[in-house]
Amino acid sequence: MKFIEYATPNAGKIKQNDININEVVKQHVAYLEQKNAEGLLVFAGTTTDGAGGLIVYDVSDEATRNRVVQEDPLYLPEVIDIAIHPFETFEDITSR
């Protein structure tokens, strides 16, 4: 099952909570590299204006989806808004 994770930072809350977002992003990138090596990462990218980032994962079940999201160093609900949605690629749709 594929899903997207769209993360949107809240700059005001990041500053209020004194979070070193650059360090968190480094840890997040290392985490994505690990998920890629495990074959779970389909796509990842960030907006060039700092508005957020999009990740597409392919996992076996909902429990794995929840674990993958919650173990990500970027999973900081107090400062990062994260939306998760089921997802199909164009290839998924046209290969039915």
For 28-72, write each residue's pLDDT tens digit. 999 999 999 999 999 999 999 989 999 999 999 999 999 999 999
Q: Which helix (H) or strand (E) holds 9?
A: strand 2-9
pLDDT above 90 for 21: no
Question: Is residue 74 exposed (0-12), middle (13-18) or buried (19+ Cβ within 10 Å)?
Answer: buried
- Residue 77's pLDDT is 83
The mean predicted confidence, pLDDT, of the chain is 93
pLDDT above 90 for 22: no
The pTM assigned to this predicted structure is 0.88
| Per-residue tokens: 7 | 């993360």
- Residue 63's pLDDT is 96
Beta strand pairing status for 2-9 and 53-58? Answer: antiparallel
Residue type, 45: G
Grouping H, G, I as helix, E, B as strand and the rest as coil, residue 66 is helix
Domains of the chain: 2-94 (3.30.70.1060)
